[in-house]
Amino acid sequence: MTATRNDTGVHGQLLRPLALLAAGSTGADIERLVREARAKARRERRTLTWSDLEHGLASSARPPHAVLDWQIAIHEIGHAIVYSALGIGTVATIRIGGRGGEVAISLDVAELQDEDGVMKLIAATLGGRVAEKLVLGKVLVGAGGSAESDLAQATRLALDAETSLGLAAEMPLIYRPLNNVSDGLSYNPNLARRVNHRLEAAEAIGREVLERHADIIRSLAERLCACRVIEGTEILEALARTGSGR
């Protein structure tokens, strides 16, 4: 029994770096990489090794770009810190990859059932943009531009709060969801003002968190640039060192 547990521990230690490198990849991506690594080892008439898999996963990522990676790292670390500091989710990994950056998180649904929780979620959604402004002195266009962008998601959350979640200050009992967000805000200036006010309030929540942790943003962003992927536990450990952990 002891030997089995030790073997499992060793295997877990070996697999962990590979699992981190694979974060954000699909099952098909992993299957293809393993197949290619096995074929390469076969051509070289040797067995497949951990190094083959590690090399394959690392080489599948976008080549490093110092300026872009630094900007992406600041953005993603900003998200991760706000999520963690506000206690609305558990961050698994933060990654710089071929598609930009990514924070893998499991939201704590119980913390999102009231207005306070919704505002915290909007704050975390805007956290990357806030971190950019705080550390880089400017905001980049990556937070917007598509229907799945940070700005789009934050706007939808704020709009839902005002129209369908019963959280509006004006006539909260009326259920009035909008199918077309853009048209609804364009043709209803009063609603647009209320949504923008809620977004600004949520942004202030995120800014208050990140202003207290500017040094953590920079140090963890440097580590993310170097490693390409880090675990969410590093966020919690950094917050705990400042007395801000959950």
Average pLDDT of the segment spanning 79-93:
96
pLDDT of residue 7: 42
With beta carbons less than 8 A apart as the criterion, state whether 117 and 138 touch.
no
- pLDDT value of position 111: 95
What CATH number does the domain located at 66-241 have? 1.20.58.760
What distances in angstroms separate CA 200 from CA 194, 203, 205, 226, one per listed residue?
10, 5, 9, 33
Specify the pLDDT at position 190: 92
Which residues face 103 on adjacent strands? 94
Are the C-beta atoms of 106 and 92 separated by less than 8 Å? yes
pTM for the predicted model, two decimal places: 0.76
Nearest residue to 79 via CA among 121, 109, 118, 24 = 121
Beta bridge partners of 229: 95
pLDDT recorded at residue 109? 94
Assign 106 to helix, strand or coil. strand
- Summary mean pLDDT of the chain: 83
Mean of pLDDT values over 42-69: 69
Identity of the residue numbered 110: A
Residues 6+ apart with CB under 8 A from 106: 89, 90, 92
What span, in angstroms and rounded, lies between the C-alpha atoms of 120 and 209? 11
Give the burial string for 175-207 (b: 16+ CB within 10 Å, else e).
eeebeebeebbeeeeebbebbeebbeebbebbb
Domain residue spans of the chain: 2-59, 66-241
